Structure 1
Amino acid sequence: MTHVAPVGGTAVQDHVALAEIELCGELIIAASAAREDRLSLESIDEVLRVAEERQAPAG
Structure 2
Amino acid sequence: MNVALVRGTAVQDHVALAEIELCGELIIAASAARGERLSADRIDEVLRVSDSQQDDGPPPPGPGA
Q: TM-score range by the shorter chain?
A: 0.7 to 0.9
Counterpart of 1:38, as a letter, is R
CA–CA distance in structure 2, aligned partners of residues 53 and 19 of structure 1: 21
Rounded to whole Å, the distance in 2 between the matches of 1:30 and 1:4 is: 40
Larger Rg: 2
Structure 2's unaligned 5+ residue stretches are 54-65
Contact (CA 8 Å) 1:5, 1:11: kept in 2 or not? Answer: no
What's the % identity of the aligned pairs? 71
Cα distance in 1, alignment partners of residues 4 and 34 from structure 2: 45
**Alpha carbons of 1:19 and 1:5: their partners in 2 closer, same or farther (altered >3 Å)?**
farther
Number of aligned residues: 52
What is the aligned-residue RMSD (CA, Å)?
Answer: 2.3
Gaps in structure 1 of 5+ consecutive residues: 55-59
| Match of residue 17 from structure 1 | 16
Instruction: Return the letter of the residue paired with 1:50.
Output: V
Greater percentage in helix:
1
Instruction: Give TM-score, length-normalised by structure 1.
Output: 0.73
TM-score normalised by the chain length of structure 2: 0.67
